[in-house]
Copies of this chain bind each other. A is one copy, B any other.
């Protein structure tokens, strides 16, 4: 049981990261209006959010710039058009996927960019490539996190090896990423323990990015913060791929540090997120995501099921069990 003192206290080291544009962009191909993005930026400032992730730095020779909104590519000038000089306490982040980002050419030096943090996303088997990206970003002056995806079906020995490797890089934060929404809080506690062990050894921080396939994104996030995880991802109204993420409005309501305010989050969800949903942009917990989460599978089949407007959930269950 957690120390009772923690029920009222808070760690000043906790950081809240808004991933709405990045993970939410996977739902609507990054087609957010400028009004949406500007309001989101102002909301994050008012709510006390620490980092705002604008999107991906996707390789333009792999992804057609005419088929996605601009936040798939996050050109520095597009960010500047929203934030100006960003003379605020809110720091800015982008995600760079291993193998899907021409980081050497597309990521400028931090002194020439509005971006503060590069989030390198990798699978366990691409850690060596992630290391190169981390070193590149750190050499350019950025804060750097490494988001190890899909760990719910990884071997603990491999995970430990990855953390030991990353520990020797200039990365600042190791991220627990439950890509499949398959993990229960009691498993998060054990995984956080492993991450925190390596973080303590190498002087790093630990973060968590959760998915809501089993309605546990918020629960897993607050489990993790109770276990010593400092960096917490949320998205407004849970917007994110498939079942979505930890709701920013739940997270801000939970955190005890008075710098965080839930009211701007409520205003933003009312004005923008409810509108997106009314327009037919679809994400969030539903039976098909529960099933892939339960079976510890990638959500791609459930996303396809959703896109096809299928409602034969039992048939879908039989299909994915057969694939298991």
Complex: how many Å from CA A274 to CA B316? 15
Q: Which residues of B contact A6 (CB under 8 A)?
A: 186
Q: Does A249 contact B (CB under 8 A)?
A: yes
Q: Does A62 contact B (CB under 8 A)?
A: no
When the two chains form their complex, are residues A222 and B185 in contact, meaning their CB atoms are under 8 A apart? Answer: yes
When the two chains form their complex, are residues B223 and A218 in contact, meaning their CB atoms are under 8 A apart? Answer: no
Complex: how many Å from CA A287 to CA B218? 14
Q: Which residues of B contact A2 (CB under 8 A)?
A: 186, 189
Q: Which of B187, B189, B190, B270 contacts A287 (CB 8 A)?
A: B270
When the two chains form their complex, are residues B215 and A215 in contact, meaning their CB atoms are under 8 A apart? Answer: yes
Q: Which residues of B contact A270 (CB under 8 A)?
A: 287, 311-314
Query: In chain A between 66 and 119, which residues have their CB closer than 8 angstroms to a CB of chain B?
Result: none
Q: Which of B7, B216, B250, B274 contacts A218 (CB 8 A)?
A: B216
Q: Does A254 contact B (CB under 8 A)?
A: yes
When the two chains form their complex, are residues A185 and B219 in contact, meaning their CB atoms are under 8 A apart? Answer: yes
When the two chains form their complex, are residues A214 and B253 in contact, meaning their CB atoms are under 8 A apart? Answer: yes
Q: Does A263 contact B (CB under 8 A)?
A: yes
When the two chains form their complex, are residues A313 and B218 in contact, meaning their CB atoms are under 8 A apart? Answer: no
Q: Does A317 contact B (CB under 8 A)?
A: yes
Q: Does A184 contact B (CB under 8 A)?
A: yes
As a 0/1 sequence over residues 207 to 243 of chain A, the CB contacts with chain B under 8 angstroms (1 = contact) are: 0000010111111001100100000000000000000
Q: Does A165 contact B (CB under 8 A)?
A: no
**Chain A interface, number of residues (Cβ within 8 angstroms):** 43
Complex: how many Å from CA A212 to CA B193? 28
When the two chains form their complex, are residues A218 and B218 in contact, meaning their CB atoms are under 8 A apart? Answer: no
Query: In chain A between 182 and 200, which residues have their CB closer than 8 angstroms to a CB of chain B?
Result: 184-187, 189-190, 193
When the two chains form their complex, are residues A250 and B189 in contact, meaning their CB atoms are under 8 A apart? Answer: no
- What's the minimum C-beta distance from A90 to chain B, rounded to whole angstroms? 21
When the two chains form their complex, are residues A185 and B185 in contact, meaning their CB atoms are under 8 A apart? Answer: yes
When the two chains form their complex, are residues B190 and A313 in contact, meaning their CB atoms are under 8 A apart? Answer: no
Query: In chain A between 296 and 324, which residues have their CB closer than 8 angstroms to a CB of chain B?
Result: 311-314, 317
| Chain A interface residues (CB < 8 Å from chain B) | 1-2, 4, 6-7, 184-187, 189-190, 193, 212, 214-219, 222-223, 226, 247, 249-250, 253-254, 262-263, 266-267, 269-270, 274, 287, 290-291, 294, 311-314, 317
30 inter-chain pairs at a CB distance below 8 angstroms, sorted by A residue, are A1-B189, A1-B193, A6-B186, A7-B186, A185-B185, A185-B222, A214-B250, A214-B253, A215-B218, A215-B219, A215-B250, A216-B219, A219-B219, A249-B287, A249-B290, A250-B290, A253-B294, A263-B314, A263-B317, A266-B287, A266-B314, A266-B317, A267-B313, A267-B314, A269-B287, A270-B287, A270-B311, A270-B312, A274-B311, A274-B313
